Amino acid sequence: MAPAANRHRAGRHFLQIPGPSNVPDRILRAIDRPTIDHRGPEFGQLGRAVLDGMKRIFKTAGAVVIYPASGTGAWEAALVNTLSPGDAVLMAETGQFATLWRELAGRLGLQVEFIPGDWRHGADPEAIAARLRADAGRRIKAVAVVHNETSTGVVSRVPEIRRAIDAAGHDALLMVDTISSLASLDYRHDEWGVDVTVAGSQKGLMLPPGLSFNAIGARALAAHKTAKMPRSYWDWAAMLGPNATGYFPYTPGTNLLYGLAEAIAMLEEEGLDAVFRRHARHGEATRRAVRAWGLDILAADPAEYSGVLTAVVMPDGHDADALRAVILDHFDMSLGAGLGKVKGRIFRIGHLGDFNDLMLMGTLAGVEMGLTLAKVPSRAGGVAAAMAYLTETA
Ligand X SMILES: *Cc1c(COP(=O)(O)O)cnc(C)c1O
The residues binding ligand X (CB under 6 A) are: 19, 70-72, 97, 146, 150, 177, 179-180, 200, 209
Give CA angle at 348 (345, 352), nearest 5°: 170
Q: Which is nearer to ligand X, 105 or 387 (CB)?
A: 105
Shortest Å, Cβ 234 to ligand X: 14
Q: Which is nearer to ligand X, 16 or 150 (CB)?
A: 150
Give CA angle at 344 (340, 346), nearest 5°: 90
Question: How many helices (DSSP H) and strands (DSSP E) are in the chain?
Answer: 13, 14
Shortest Å, Cβ 209 to ligand X: 6
The burial class, CB within 10 Å (0-12 / 13-18 / 19+), for 342 is buried
ω before 208 within 30° of 0 (cis)?
no
Shortest Å, Cβ 92 to ligand X: 13
Q: Which is nearer to ligand X, 179 or 364 (CB)?
A: 179
Q: Which is nearer to ligand X, 70 or 111 (CB)?
A: 70
Residue nearest to ligand X (CB): 71
Q: Which is nearer to ligand X, 114 or 247 (CB)?
A: 114
Q: Which is nearer to ligand X, 185 or 367 (CB)?
A: 185
Beta strands in the chain (DSSP E): 14-16, 63-67, 88-92, 111-115, 140-146, 148-149, 154-155, 173-177, 196-200, 212-216, 296-297, 309-313, 333-337, 346-350
Q: Which is nearer to ligand X, 234 or 331 (CB)?
A: 234
Shortest Å, Cβ 77 to ligand X: 12
- Which is it for the CA torsion 382, 97, 320, 7, positive or negative? positive
Shortest Å, Cβ 179 to ligand X: 4
Shortest Å, Cβ 71 to ligand X: 3
Instruction: Count CB neighbours of 245 within 10 A.
Output: 11
Residue 389 CA to chain centroid, in angstroms?
26
Shortest Å, Cβ 202 to ligand X: 6
d(CA 87, CA 187): 28
Q: Which is nearer to ligand X, 207 or 326 (CB)?
A: 207
Q: Which has the closest alpha carbon to 261: 31, 2, 7? A: 31
d(CA 17, CA 72): 18
Segment (H or E) for 24: none
Strand 88-92 relative to strand 140-146, pairing: parallel
Shortest Å, Cβ 200 to ligand X: 4
